[in-house]
Amino acid sequence: MAEKSVDEGAGVERSGVSERDLERRRRIRRGIVATLVGGTFWGLNGTVSKWLMDAYAIDPLWLVCLRELAACWLFLAAAAVTSRGREQLAGVWRSPRDLLAILGVSLGAILFSQVAYLEAIDWTNSATATIMQSLGMVLVLAYVCLKMRRRPRRREALGVVLALAGTYLVATGGNPGQLSLPPQGLFWGLACAGAAACLSILPARPMAKWGNFTVNGLAFLFSGVILTVVYRPWEHMPALDGVAVAVLVACVVVGTFGAYALYLQGVKDAGSMRASLLGTIEPVTATVATVVWLGTSFSPADILGFALIIAMVYLTA
């Protein structure tokens, strides 16, 4: 057996590929799969949420409360699985400054993004909301350029032009004299873009110190508690049957925690740029699911606008 292992190792070296390279390739492949599956879950979750809100008259804020207060415990449990995660969970409570930073993440990123996304879905559909959310890449680019005191590169500037053209087509259907989206849908769609940018920027520093699951678990918890106190979801309880309860559980476990956990793993294994490009499967999945499941139709101008915005992601990532 030892001789065989030596021979195999020598074969690997003779082929010009080291064991480290093979492990790196396996990690990247794993990251690609995780990103694709996570993005698909996200896209499907938007369509499922739209169906729930329409079929059971569920208020978007009620759904946000449920998702955040349920998913936070899954994030915290995932953090507690490892000894490192348990140390982070215990240590963060001894740092008031970092807890304040996580509170900022919960309000400026988690709560903002959850509310804006579900409101945009409620006023439009999951495909349009997810595509509009992708415009957050333009705001992230603006932030990076200001922080680094540089001008946008040529391909980045082209991406901004495509994003503006795509937004125009989605909002007007190609007719400048009218809006094809309701004003509320356009407002919440643009809010989705701002929320997506906040979600990309605000958690970076706390997560680098305390870990993804710890920061997201606490941010979801803080956000859910604050929204619950303000909104009081028990006063807006929808009439749910067994099917609705099962779908809600899937939204929390698969569409929120599962999608987020897989995407974060994909970013870690495949790299942020590759993950950003692969993440465009989310709006594609949302569009296909919206057409096939909900029967929503889109005009040629809508489809062209979607394509331009997705092209923007490739140019600016």
The answer as to whether 206 is a domain residue is yes
- Residue 42's pLDDT band, with cuts at 50, 70 and 90, is confident
- pLDDT of 282: 78
Over residues 227-248, the mean pLDDT reads: 95
- pLDDT of 179: 65
Over residues 287-291, the mean pLDDT reads: 84
Q: Could you tell me the residue range of the domain that residue 285 belongs to?
A: 30-125+183-297
Give the separation between CA 59 and CA 118, rounded to whole angstroms.
9
The structural domain count of the chain equals: 1
The single-letter code of the amino acid at 296 is T
User: What are the residues whose beta carbons fall under 8 Å from the beta carbon of 312, sequence distance 6 or more?
Assistant: 134, 135, 137, 138, 159, 160, 162, 163, 166
Give the separation between CA 259 and CA 130, rounded to whole angstroms.
14
- Residue 4's pLDDT band, with cuts at 50, 70 and 90, is very low
Over residues 14-23, the mean pLDDT reads: 71
Between 137 and 60, name the one with better pLDDT.
60
Over residues 30-50, the mean pLDDT reads: 87
Over residues 98-115, the mean pLDDT reads: 91
- pLDDT of 2: 44
The answer as to whether 159 is a domain residue is no
Between 156 and 239, name the one with better pLDDT.
239
The answer as to whether 221 is a domain residue is yes
- Residue 35's pLDDT band, with cuts at 50, 70 and 90, is confident
How much is the mean pLDDT over the chain?
84
pLDDT digits (tens, 9 = 90+) for 139-197: 888 888 898 888 888 888 888 888 888 888 887 777 766 667 888 998 999 998 888 88
pLDDT over 80 (residue 18)? no
* Both tokens assigned to 273: 């740029």
Between 301 and 187, name the one with better pLDDT.
187
- pLDDT of 299: 83
The answer as to whether 142 is a domain residue is no
Give the separation between CA 31 and CA 60, rounded to whole angstroms.
32
Residue 269 CB: number of other CB atoms within 10 A?
20
The answer as to whether 268 is a domain residue is yes
The answer as to whether 45 is a domain residue is yes
Over residues 116-122, the mean pLDDT reads: 92
The answer as to whether 116 is a domain residue is yes
Rg of the chain taking only CA atoms, in angstroms = 21
- pLDDT of 225: 96
The answer as to whether 42 is a domain residue is yes
pLDDT over 80 (residue 105)? yes
pLDDT over 70 (residue 55)? yes
Q: Which residue has the tokens 């400026």?
A: 108
Over residues 96-109, the mean pLDDT reads: 91
Give the separation between CA 262 and CA 148, rounded to whole angstroms.
30
